[in-house]
Copies of this chain bind each other. A is one copy, B any other.
């Protein structure tokens, strides 16, 4: 928690955003949560069908304190979210930073940053909001991209579904430390340390036959 909460607004803390373990790894600060969300573009969307959980990977974007999650009009979660009451969801975003190797099997860990957001998702139906959401989905993964493509036409818009989740009941969890060996393990002849993990975005590969040079927004691709 921040020493000066007014400088660093936080989402409200609830029982289900308070971890049962490793509470010191958790934060509710908006800035920290937004930074993790903005570092990723894939989320795992959880919802419930006939009492059983379903978890699907998809892309998302953040616009202020709102998440937009991409789907399709024909897909199960989108049909569920199209009603007035919406659909209870959990949206989880995870970035892995290192494997943490210790002298004991038990202390092995992973350095990571994750965000877990709970709430009720609603399908975006307002055409203006859908335009904003679709541009955000493209630009969240590839900044500047939405201005340099053919916009969706009416038929494509009708085939696209996006759900909105207001960020409210949300927390982040982070581990960023080195190997945590037990003091009594110090002398053991086993290696401990980190294997760093990074997600690398390589050189863009033009579609065969394309005559268009690489545009500026991809030359400066920031990831």
Contact = CB atoms under 8 A, between A and B. Distances in A.
Interface of A: 16, 20-21, 42, 44-49, 51-57, 59, 72, 74-76, 88-92, 94, 96, 99, 101-106, 108, 110, 112, 114, 116, 118, 134-135, 138, 141-142, 145-146, 148-153, 156, 159-160, 178-179, 181, 185, 188-208, 210, 212-215, 218, 221
B191 A110 contact: no
27 contacts: A20-B74, A44-B44, A45-B55, A46-B54, A47-B53, A48-B52, A53-B88, A57-B92, A59-B110, A101-B145, A102-B149, A104-B149, A105-B146, A106-B160, A148-B190, A148-B191, A149-B190, A150-B185, A150-B190, A178-B208, A191-B204, A191-B212, A191-B218, A192-B210, A193-B206, A195-B204, A199-B200
A192 B205 contact: no
A55 B52 contact: no
Nearest to A159: B106
A55 B104 contact: no
Given A192-B210, A192-B212, 6 more contacts: A44-B46, A55-B92, A108-B145, A191-B206, A195-B205, A196-B203
A198 B191 contact: no
Given A55-B46, A104-B150, A207 B188 contact: no
Contacts of A103: 149-150
B57 A94 contact: yes
A133 to B, nearest CB: 11
A53 B46 contact: yes
A218 B191 CA distance: 9
Contacts of A146: 105
A173 to B, nearest CB: 9
Given A20-B74, A105-B152, A116 B53 contact: no
